[in-house]
Amino acid sequence: MGRHHRLVQEVHRLSEQIQRRAAELRGAIEKANYEYHVLDSPAIGDEQYDGMLHELTVLEQRHPEIVTPESPTQRVGAPPSERFKPVRHAAPMLSLANAFGEDELRAFDQRVGKALGRTVVEYVCELKIDGLAVNLTYADGKLTQGATRGDGVTGEDVTANLRTIRSVPLTLRERDKGRIDVRGEVYLPRASFEATNRERIEREEPPFANPRNAAAGAVRQMDPRKTAERDLAIFVYSAAGLEVDSQHLLLMRLRDLGFRVNPMWKLVRGVDEVIARIAELRDKRQSLGYGTDGVVVKVDAIADQERLGYVARSPRWAVAYKFPAEQATTVVEDIKTYVGRTGVLTPVAWLAPVQIGGTTVRRATLHNLDEVRRLDVRVGDRVIVQRAGDVIPEVVRAEPRTADLPEWDMPKSCPECGQPVEHREGEVAYRCANPTCPAKQGQRLGHFVGRGGMDIEGAGWAFLAQVQERGLVSDPADIFDLTMDQLTALDRYAEKSAANLFQRIQDAKERPLERIVYALGIPQVGETTSLDLARWLAAELGPSADLAAVMGRLRRATAEELQDIDGVGPVVAQSITTWIADPEEQAFLDKLVKAGVRPVMPERREIPAASPFAGKTVVFTGTLERRSREEAEALVRELGGKTSGSVSRKTSLVVAGPAAGSKLEKAKELGVDVIDEDAFDAQVRAAGRS
Ligand code: IVH
């Protein structure tokens, strides 16, 4: 054997050894992950784990050819992306009907029992985790794609981010052939949620309102390294592509495959046992390390689930029982007012700190003066405060007072700028009338650069306060005119961080249209309406319209025209036209155009080819028996139609249930087609939906 040949053989042997060692380490690390994250019983210590991960990292760095995408070192690896790719789900990700209280649960059980011809049904009760629904796709046992729920039909490709979550298996413990789609909830543990919020408050960034928002923020990070910094975890609860006969066997199978399944699930017989289990879970709620907003009750047998089927976008075989809002009693120490983006003053109760649902509550909103009067809350009162799922804490009622306390009133002058507070007859809101009120401007700036808006990372409150104080920025468009020199002159901005921020500001000139619309800060126009408006503008102007064209179209829009857009009612339409008619806002829009802001127009929604509703405007009236009004409207929109709350000449079709009133009259008067719910169902089915 020649020397060269021996050398080659030697190298080959070494490389096999390395490969083997790497495989061994990967196996051991994944096993440790499984024991730690899924079984909750780690068999090895942190040091040993870190040691193995380190050895593997070094091996792979020296021999890059041995790296596999499933290697535990590759959880963070992908570079930041510009935008997430849309992913069409193999099967739509559905939502659940809600049940509040025992009666609604019993009604659900009655319906199920009747449809199945049985008096006692077996159910699985699972915790409803307060997080973000995701779909994980595995091909031949390897994670190939992770997506958010999105609108249920199309989500976003967040594979790189989901890979960073240690309890998301990259490979399955059994290499099942073929494709499996697993669904679950990504969430942020309570402790990390609170730590994140403490950090945000320190950095003078607004805290997340709930764990779900925090999880969504982390999962939708453009840079997976940012996602990895959060301590996200997953619980999975459903799957397509696994052969099992029941939900409880599915949960067991998922766990065997290496997935993390919430351990609180229980198989029960009959509705009484469901109710008993819910009571148990309600008591345990506080002691769990994560947020839950209820219990999902699912018919256990898959064959029964198939018989029951679906209504609109929810299964008939499952229901989400919502826990009642968590409450506590405390004392109002003060009532202060905050000036919002539009100058509206919001009264906020400052409370003696109190624990509600595992978090400390110090403030609660009182919404407006009408609400303060209705509740008759005064400084010094004892009050019941609640946190209902995802809302900011609020005062439910005041306890009868024992001493005389003065009534609270809105301040006559703005607490921020001292200028008079205005109250228009018939309006609930009290506003600071000063257009240059620094609080108002500050809020407006914060809204403009914030998440959901132009999303300029690093432009936090500390930065905004400085540019405002120095008079560099008076309306949000001025941000785009900031020069490198101005940025380096700011406190706490060295050359490098100033350069970074400068670049981010330039990058923010290109944003999806819906974000630009949201960033404008038009009163009443939130994220959903912004998307509705953006879609309408895209349909009107085509995919390559520039900002000047967009703003021009918005300016010309009449309130009537706007009301024809799905999701835009008369109040919102009026608010938009009033806002845009304001010369100051017009100047602001012109500045945005001049600054070179470029919209990315939203994609056209795909409309099923054979849709009976494509291009039609449908109005529902009377009671619907098989689905809620919202569900029916959502169906029409998915099928390419529009919906409206009132009948006009533009209405193409009226769906009338029993007890239909004036809308039906009007439809007849105008000669609009009228059908009943059965006929509507038939059309929906004909379009391939149920
Ligand atoms: S089952 C058709 N199980 O709740 C089945 N959902 O309102 C639909 N969720 O989008 C989902 N924990 O994000 C199911 N144990 C659980 C859940 C759960 C949380 C969320 C999920 C879903 C929403 C439905």
Atom 9 in ligand 1: residue holding the nearest Cα: 128
User: Quick one: DSSP state of residue 207?
Assistant: P
Q: What is the average pLDDT across 490-512?
A: 92
pLDDT of residue 657 exceeding 90, the answer is: no
Q: Are strands 653-656 and 617-621 parallel, antiparallel or unpaired?
A: parallel
Residue 628 and residue 219: Cα distance in Å, rounded? 31
Class of domain 98-322: alpha beta
Sheet strand arrangement including 98-99: 98-99, 318-322, 292-299, 122-129, 266-269
In the predicted structure, residue 390 carries a pLDDT above the cut 70: no
User: Average pLDDT for residues 172-182, to the nearest whole number?
Assistant: 87
Active-site hit among 128, 298, 440, 616: 128
Residue 620, strand partner residues: 655
CA dihedral 232, 237, 238, 241 (to 10 degrees): 70
In which band, very low, low, confident or very high, does the pLDDT at 388 lie, cut at 50, 70 and 90?
low
327-431 to CATH, choices 3.30.70.3400, 3.30.450.20, 2.40.50.140, 3.30.930.10: 2.40.50.140
Nearest to 261 by CA among 251, 270, 271, 247: 251
Task: Tell me which range, 75-89, 242-256, 612-626, is most confidently predicted by mean pLDDT.
Answer: 242-256
Amino acid 492: pLDDT: 84
For residue 536, what pLDDT is reported? 93
The rounded Cα 77 to chain-centroid distance in angstroms is 25
User: Nearest C-alpha to atom 21 of ligand 1 is from which residue?
Assistant: 133
Q: How far is CA 539 from CA 528, 544, 553, in A?
A: 17, 11, 12
Local confidence band at 489 (pLDDT 50, 70, 90 cut-offs): very high
Give the whole-number percent of the chain exceeding pLDDT 90: 48
Comparing 2-11, 44-53, 501-510, which segment has the lowest mean pLDDT? 2-11
Expressed in angstroms and rounded, the spacing between residue 224 Cα and the centre of ligand 1 is 25
pLDDT for 275 equals: 97
Q: What is the CATH number of domain 2-76?
A: 1.10.287.610
Asked if residue 126 has its Cβ within 6 Å of ligand 1, the reply is: yes
> Of the residues 93, 94, 95, 260, which should be mutated to test ligand 1's pocket, given the most ligand atoms within 8 Å of the CB?
95
The alpha carbon dihedral of 572, 566, 84, 190 has a sign of: positive
Measured from the CA of 133, which atom of ligand 1 is nearest? 13
Q: 455: left (phi > 0), else alpha (psi -120 to 50), else beta?
A: left
At residue 677, does pLDDT exceed 70? Answer: yes
What are the two backbone dihedrals, phi and then psi, of residue 42, each rounded to the nearest 5 degrees? Answer: -65, 135
Q: Mean pLDDT score of the chain, rounded to an integer?
A: 88
CA distance 535 to 6: 67
Instruction: For residue 583, report the phi and psi dihedrals to the nearest 5 degrees.
Output: -55, -35
Instruction: Out of 237, 313, 628, 690, give the residue to mutate to test ligand 1, the one with the largest number of ligand atoms within 8 Å of its CB.
Output: 237
Q: Catalytic residue at 128?
A: yes
Q: 3-state DSSP call for residue 97?
A: coil
Say whether pLDDT at 499 is over 90: yes
Residues 540-568 pLDDT 10s = 999 899 999 999 999 999 999 999 887 78
Reported confidence tier of residue 205, pLDDT bands at 50, 70, 90: low
Q: How confident is the model at residue 655 (pLDDT cuts 50, 70, 90)?
A: very high
CB 197 within 8 A of CB 205: no
Whether 237 is in the pocket of ligand 1, judged by its Cβ within 6 Å, is yes
Contact (CB, 8 A) for 232 and 215: yes
Q: How is residue 449 written in tokens? A: 């650069």
C-alpha–C-alpha distance, residues 335 and 331, integer Å: 11
The reply to whether ligand 1 has any atom less than 6 angstroms from the CB of 261 is: no
Number of separate helices (H) and strands (E) present in the chain? 24, 26
pLDDT single digits (tens) 185-197: 999 998 888 888 7
Rounded CA-CA distance 510/503 in Å is 12
Dihedral pair phi/psi, residue 255, rounded to 5°: -65, -40
Domain ranges of the chain: 2-76, 98-322, 327-431, 438-600, 617-686
Q: Which of 27, 22, 26, 24 is nearest to 61 (CA)?
A: 22
Please, which pLDDT band fits residue 80 given cuts at 50, 70 and 90? Answer: low
Average of per-residue pLDDT across 605-634: 78
Nearest CA to ligand 1 atom 17: 128
**What residues have CB less than 8 Å from 130, skipping those under 6 apart?**
185, 187, 210, 211, 212, 290, 291, 292, 293, 389
d(CA 26, CA 42): 16
Read off the amino acid at residue 241: G
Q: Do β-strands 326-339 and 310-311 pair in parallel, antiparallel, or remain unpaired?
A: unpaired
What local confidence, expressed as pLDDT, does residue 272 receive? 97
| Range with lowest mean pLDDT among 8-17, 142-151, 154-163, 471-480 | 8-17
CA of 679 to the centre of ligand 1 (A): 31
Q: Measure 610 CA to ligand 1 centroid, in angstroms.
A: 30
The pLDDT of residue 248 is 97
- Angle, to 10 degrees, between the axis of helix 461-469 and the axis of helix 438-449? 130
User: 296: Cβ below 6 Å to ligand 1?
Assistant: yes
Alpha carbon of 95 to ligand 1 centroid (Å): 7
Q: How confident is the model at residue 580 (pLDDT cuts 50, 70, 90)?
A: very high
Query: What pLDDT is recorded for position 663?
Result: 85
Mean pLDDT score, 514-526: 92
154 pLDDT more than 60? yes
For 436-455, how does the pLDDT look when each residue is reduced to its tens digit (9 = 90+)? 898 888 989 999 998 779 99
Give yes or no on whether 327-431 and 617-686 have one common fold.
no
CA distances from residue 468 to 207, 439, 472, 476 in whole angstroms, order as listed? 22, 10, 6, 10
Cα-to-centroid distance, 633 and ligand 1 (Å): 22
Closest to 77 in 3D by CA, of 57, 55, 102: 57
> Model confidence at 137, in pLDDT bands (50, 70, 90)?
very high
Q: Ligand 1, from 94, 126, 128, 317: best to mutate by most atoms within 8 Å of Cβ?
A: 128
Q: Helices marked H in 510-618 — which ranges?
A: 513-519, 527-541, 547-556, 559-563, 570-581, 583-594
Radius of gyration from C-alpha coordinates of the chain: 28
**Closest Cα partner for 652 from 683, 607, 677, 620?**
620
96 lines ligand 1 (CB under 6 A): yes
> Which pLDDT score, from 0 to 100, does residue 452 have?
79
Cβ–ligand 1 distance for 675 under 6 Å, the answer no
Of 80-94, 160-174, 296-310, the range with the lowest mean pLDDT is: 80-94
pTM of the model: 0.61
DSSP structure class, residue 420: B
Confidence of residue 237 (pLDDT cuts 50, 70, 90): very high
Residue 16: band (very low, low, confident or very high) from pLDDT cuts 50, 70, 90? confident
pLDDT of 391 reads 55
Residue 254 is inside which H or E element, if any? Answer: helix 247-257
- Give me ligand 1 centre to Cα 231, in Å: 21
Any atom of ligand 1 within 6 Å of the Cβ of 135 = no
pLDDT tens-digit readout, 451-483 = 779 999 888 878 898 998 899 998 899 999 999
499 secondary structure, DSSP code: H
As a whole number of angstroms, the distance between CA 636 and CA 663 comes to 18
Q: What is the 3-state secondary structure (H, E, C) of 60-94?
A: HHHCHHHCCCCCHHHHCCCCCCCCCCEEECCCCCC
Rounded CA separation 369/408 (Å) = 9
Of 3.60.20.10, 3.40.50.10190, 3.30.540.10, 3.40.50.720, the CATH number of 617-686 is 3.40.50.10190
The CA distances from residue 41 to 47, 176, 535, in Å, are: 16, 25, 50
Q: Is the CB of 68 under 6 A from ligand 1?
A: no
pLDDT score for 482: 95
Pure H helices in 409-494: 438-449, 461-469, 484-488
**Is ligand 1 within 6 A of the CB of residue 128?**
yes
The pick from 96, 123, 151, 690 for probing ligand 1's pocket by mutation, whose C-beta has the most ligand atoms within 8 angstroms, reads 96
- Rounded Cα distance between 636 and 246, Å, is 33
> Do 360 and 383 contact (CB within 8 A), yes or no?
no
Fold of the domain spanning 438-600: DNA polymerase; domain 1 (1.10.150)
